Amino acid sequence: MSKDISNILKNWEFSTDDGLVRRIIGDDGREKIQRRIDLGVLQMESEDRPDGVTPYGFPSLYDYLKNLSEEYEADAADEEFNISTDDCVALQTEALLYYQRRLCFFELQDYTCAARDARRNLEVFTFIRQYAEREEDAINIDQFRGFVIYHRAKAEVLGCLEKKEYDFALSYIDHAERELMEFYAEYGKGEEFEEGDEYKQLKMWREQIERIRPLSHQEILQNELSEAVSREDYEKAAEIRNELQRLGQGKNEE
């Protein structure tokens, strides 16, 4: 089998204007993600570790170290489990591979997989904060947590907007805002939260979604109630209040 990729490059010319990411099926029958770059092609696995490496027979280094930590806890070992500086650097390098693939998934508009890879890296950050021998090692990677929270929310929100699930999109924004607020507070920067680029972007999405989403039945009734009160039509207002009360009771029963 030829190792020359000239034929691939010839049939997929590099252009700054065209989409440069695609899915293919590899010789092993597994799906791959390819990104065209000016000097060649980058290829990644679409599942597990992007470079296809299986450290110690596990899908990723994180999976291997996580399994070790669980074995320590199961054995109730006297020695506390922790990860070295080298382990932290290796985990950070591995997380970068997932970030690169996440960017490809965004270009492919595969928001489910983009969110999956973002959640995976957030798990790694939590793992390092819990087990790193040196606090400096945890901080070195945890500084990116805010950006990854934002990236996960971006994937979740875009996925919801594709399906016109506006309320779900808003709930993902709420969740991301709470996580970002906690992240800033952990580092004593709570007052800077609303000045962060991540929060500003989430706020902009919220405003855009609020403008385009259809009103719920309850919201329509609330508007009608306000109009009835402003007209001093108190009989109509009482009817609407009763309807709102019934809706509220129905939700509580659910």
> Consecutive sets of 10 residues in the chain, 254 residues long: mean pLDDT of each?
83 78 93 92 95 97 96 79 96 97 95 97 97 95 95 96 93 96 93 90 92 74 78 79 75 50
Whether residues 129 and 195 share a domain: the answer is yes
For residue 243, what are the domain limits? 221-253
Give the domain CATH number at 90. 1.25.40
In a domain, 29, yes or no: no
* pLDDT for position 110: 96
Neighbours of 143 (CB within 10 A): 12
* pLDDT for position 254: 46
Spatial separation of the C-alpha atoms in residues 78 and 75, rounded to whole Å: 9
CA distances from 92 to 27, 43, 54, 197 (A): 30, 20, 16, 23
Whether residues 204 and 230 share a domain: the answer is no
Please list, in sequence order, all residues whose beta carbon lies within 8 angstroms of the beta carbon of residue 88, skipping any fewer than 6 positions away.
128, 132, 134, 137, 138, 140, 141
* pLDDT for position 54: 97
* pLDDT for position 205: 93
Whether residues 55 and 177 share a domain: the answer is yes
Tokens of 186: 């952990």
Spatial separation of the C-alpha atoms in residues 105 and 214, rounded to whole Å: 29
* pLDDT for position 1: 66
* pLDDT for position 250: 54
Whether residues 225 and 116 share a domain: the answer is no
What are the φ and ψ backbone dihedral angles of 38, each rounded to 5 degrees? -60, -25
* pLDDT for position 7: 87
Label residue 57 exposed, middle or buried (CB < 10 Å: 0-12, 13-18, 19+): exposed
Tokens of 79: 């020695």
pTM for the full model? 0.82
Whether residues 145 and 242 share a domain: the answer is no
